[in-house]
Amino acid sequence: MDSGLKHTSVLLNEAVDALLGEPAAADSQAPARTFVDATFGRGGHTRLILSRLLAQDRLMAFDKDQAAVASAAEITDARFSIRHQGFDRLSELGHSVASGILMDLGVSSPQIDDASRGFSFRFDGPLDMRMDTTSGQSVAQWLAAAPTAQITEVIRDYGEERFAGAIAKAIVARRQERGPISTTTELAQLVADTVKTREPGQNPATRTFQAFRIFINAELEALQTALTASIDVLQLQGVLVVISFHSLEDRIVKQFIAGHSRDVYDRRVPFAAPKVMRLLALGRVKPSASEVAANPRSRSAIMRIAQRIA
């Protein structure tokens, strides 16, 4: 359980301001709007959004983490609902239903700080890392049988780790000699023993832990699916807000917005009408120096904003 573990939402006011736009008058007779918090986490963004919505508005949230869904039960606002699903199920909401969609990617502080979840090398715990502990393989289960080549590929591609091959060989050698790795401490020590150089201030296991978490949760594939669905779920003039925390995520978001922010011509059919741009890029925001000082985990965050225009 993560009772008592706190989470500080990154770019909290900036994200909600971008999502909701100019505040409407409290007595507004405007049509009801629907917003989506596609990654509830511990509800920091959700609670601020609800505080700014009109009585007729609605907010729907997604999260595949049971603990997050359980914490959402504390919210008694009738305008709010949550689904125990990942945001890759976003398309199930239907076509042109949302005035805004917020995606806050990555792992929440309660997930990181709960040793039983196995996300962090700072705590000794089972090597799990699943966002949804009710389904799928844990990292330990996968590593118990994964071949060297696959482990290498995962660490290299999702962790951008230059020592991926050496780490993978060490994991398999350890498995053959003493049995599979089952705890975070065992993995962190093995990586530290294998990686002899590292950037100042960074734990040698940082990239490997990131890689395994992304892989075991299919995070990048889920992000691609959610982004693709977002255009159809958004209404015209609806806003997409995405906060990412590492270069792999941000590259996907940046390329997605850029790819839909221009008319695309098919060079094979030069006289055909172009594929019309559907998004307008509205900007890129990073945390302020004061936010980074107060919450060091925010330092790598990048928020990108776009609007559906077609």
Question: Could you read off the pLDDT of 148-205 as tens digits, one per residue?
Answer: 999 999 999 999 999 999 999 999 999 999 999 999 999 999 999 999 877 787 899 9
Give the integer Cα–Cα distance in Å for 30 and 168.
57
Residues 12-109+219-308: name the CATH superfamily.
Vaccinia Virus protein VP39 (3.40.50.150)
Whether the Cβ atoms of residue 119 and residue 112 lie closer than 8 Å to each other: yes
| pLDDT at residue 5 tops 70 | no
**Amino acid 1: pLDDT:** 41
Q: Which long-range contacts (CB under 8 A, 24 or more apart) does 155-158 make?
A: 155/207, 155/208, 155/211, 155/212, 156/211, 157/211, 158/210, 158/211, 158/212, 158/214, 158/215, 158/220, 158/248
User: What does pTM read for this prediction?
Assistant: 0.92
Whether the Cβ atoms of residue 33 and residue 59 lie closer than 8 Å to each other: no
Share of the chain above pLDDT 70, in %: 92
| Token pair in block for residue 185 | 């401490």
Strands 34-37 and 98-104: parallel
Give the integer Cα–Cα distance in Å for 112 and 109.
5
User: What average pLDDT score do residues 25-36 get?
Assistant: 83
* Domain chopping of the chain, boundaries: 12-109+219-308, 133-216
Q: Please state which architecture CATH assigns to domain 133-216.
A: Orthogonal Bundle (1.10)
pLDDT band at 27 (very low <50, low <70, confident <90, very high): low
Whether the Cβ atoms of residue 152 and residue 162 lie closer than 8 Å to each other: no
